[in-house]
Amino acid sequence: MTKRAMKRLVREGEFDAGQFDPVPYDRRAGNDENKVRRLPVERRWSPMGGDEPRDQGYLKTIKAKSPGQTQLIEAVDEHSMVLALGPAGTGKTYLAIAKAVEALEAGKVGRIVLSRPAVEAGESLGFLPGEMEDKLAPYLRPLYDALSDRLSMKRVKSLMAEGLIEIAPIGFMRGRTLNNAFVVIDEAQNCTYGQLKMLLTRLGWNSTMVVTGDPAQSDLLPGISGLADVADRLDKLSQVAVVRLMDVDIVRHPLVASMLGVL
C-alpha cells in the first residue's frame, strides 16, 4: 500500500467490523439490538477490481482518443484562437481545460480565465440565495469538475485564491483585456452573436482563447445563438482554427453516439 493510500485511510478511517456486532439486550441500559443500525463493512469494491485501493493520479499531459481530438490538441498548440464545435461527449471542455492547466504548469501563461453563460437548460431555477459566487456555482460546476480532474481540489482552491485561476461570468467580461492568459469560453452555443463578438475581442498579448460549444444544443430561442455564424465567419481566417468534432469523436458511453444519431 502506498503512502498516499495510507494517509487517505487514516484520514477517512476504517470501519471496525466488531462495532457492528449485535449488542446484547440490557434492560437497565435500555439498549435493543433491533435498534442498532448495521452499516456495510465492505467498502473497497471498485469497478477496477482488486482489494487494493487505487491512487488518484493527476496527469500533466493528455492523450487524444480520436482523430478529432488530435486535431483539437494540435490546433490549440498552433493557434491563439480556437473554436471547438461538436456534439456532447467529444471532450471539448475537458481538452480545453486540460491544455489550460498544462500551459499554466509549464509557465507559458500567467493565469487561466474560464467563462460560461449562466443559462438554464430549459427550466428556470428561480432566485438563488447567497453572494455572486454562490449564485453562479450551479452553472460553473462543469468547469470545477474538469479542473478538479486535472488538479487536486486543494490546489484548485489555492490557485483560485491566488488569482491564477479565475472563473468569471460572461456578463462581467466587457471592457477587459486578457493578457498572458489561457481563456476558455464554455457552452458558447448559449451566447448571442453580440456576446461572442465581445468575448473574442478580449484576447490580449501572449494569450490563447478556446471557445467550445454545440450549435445543435442551444438553450436559447431559435435563431438567437451566434456560435454557428461566428464559426463560419472565422473559418475564413488562417490565424483562427475551427475544429468540428463528429459523432465518432464521442468518448462517453457508446449509447451517447447512438442516441445522438437518432435524436
Q: How far is CA 38 from the centre of its chain?
A: 37
The predicted structure's pLDDT at residue 146: 84
Burial classification of residue 174, based on how many CB atoms lie within 10 Å of its CB (0-12 exposed, 13-18 middle, 19 or more buried)? exposed
**What mean pLDDT is reported for the chain?**
79
Q: Same structural domain for residues 212 and 188? A: yes
Confidence of residue 54 (pLDDT cuts 50, 70, 90): very low
Same domain for 173 and 83? yes
Do 199 and 72 fall within a single domain? Answer: yes
Whether 47 is in a domain gets the answer yes
| 107 shares a domain with 41 | no
CATH code assigned at 95: 3.40.50.300
Phi/psi class of residue 115: alpha, beta or left (left: φ > 0; alpha: ψ in -120 to 50)?
Answer: beta
Q: How many CB atoms lie within 10 A of CB 32?
A: 11
Q: In angstroms, rounded to a whole number, what is the distance separating the alpha carbons of residues 167 and 157?
A: 12
Residue 61 belongs to some domain of the structure? no
Q: At 53, is the pLDDT very low, low, confident or very high (cuts 50, 70, 90)? A: very low
Q: Which of 32, 56, 80 is the last residue of a domain?
A: 56
Tens digits of per-residue pLDDT, 106-136? 999 999 999 888 776 555 556 666 666 666 7
158 to 10, 55, 93, 163, 219: CA distances (angstroms): 24, 22, 22, 9, 33
Tell me what pLDDT residue 149 has: 84
Are 133 and 251 part of one and the same domain? yes
Q: What is the pLDDT of residue 145?
A: 84
Domain hosting 1: range is 1-56
Q: For 13-26, what is the mean pLDDT?
A: 50
Distance, CA of 121 to CA of 250 (rounded, Å)? 21
Percent above pLDDT 70 for the chain:
70
Residue 138 shares a structural domain with residue 50: no
Q: Are residues 166 and 251 in the same domain?
A: yes
Q: Answer yes or no: is 140 within a domain.
A: yes
Total domain count, the chain: 2
Is 62 inside a domain boundary? no
Instruction: Assess if residue 252 is contained within a domain.
Output: yes
Q: Report CA-CA distances (Å) from 218 to 108, 137, 190, 225.
A: 33, 20, 5, 7
DSSP structure string for 180-218: SEEEEE--GGGSBHHHHHHHHTTB-TT-EEEEEE-GGG-
Same domain, 27 and 130: no
- Residue 234 pLDDT level (bands cut at 50, 70, 90): very high
| Most confident among 3-17, 132-146, 208-222 (mean pLDDT) | 208-222
| Residue 69 pLDDT class (50, 70, 90 cuts) | very high
Residue 227 lies in a domain: yes
Please check whether residue 116 is in contact with residue 187, taking contact to mean a CB–CB distance below 8 angstroms: yes
Clarify whether residues 121 and 3 are in a common domain: no
**Is there a domain that residue 120 lies in?**
yes
Residue 19 has pLDDT above 60, yes or no: no
How far, in Å, are 191, 195, 203, 241, 257 from residue 236 at the CA level?
21, 20, 19, 9, 29
**Does 71 lie in the same domain as 52?**
no
- Among 133-147, 166-180, 193-207, the range of highest mean pLDDT: 193-207
Among candidate residues 262, 103, 66, 93, the one with its CA nearest the CA of residue 181: 103
- Strand segments, DSSP code E, in 90-180 are 111-116, 165-169
Residue 110 in domain = yes
Residues 27 and 156 grouped into a single domain = no
Q: What would the pLDDT profile of 140-173 be if each residue is shown by its tens digit?
A: 788 888 888 888 888 888 998 999 999 888 888 8
pLDDT tens figures, 39-50: 444 444 444 444
CA distance 182 to 178: 8
| Secondary structure of residue 45 in the 3-state scheme | coil
Question: Are residues 233 and 104 both part of a single domain?
Answer: yes
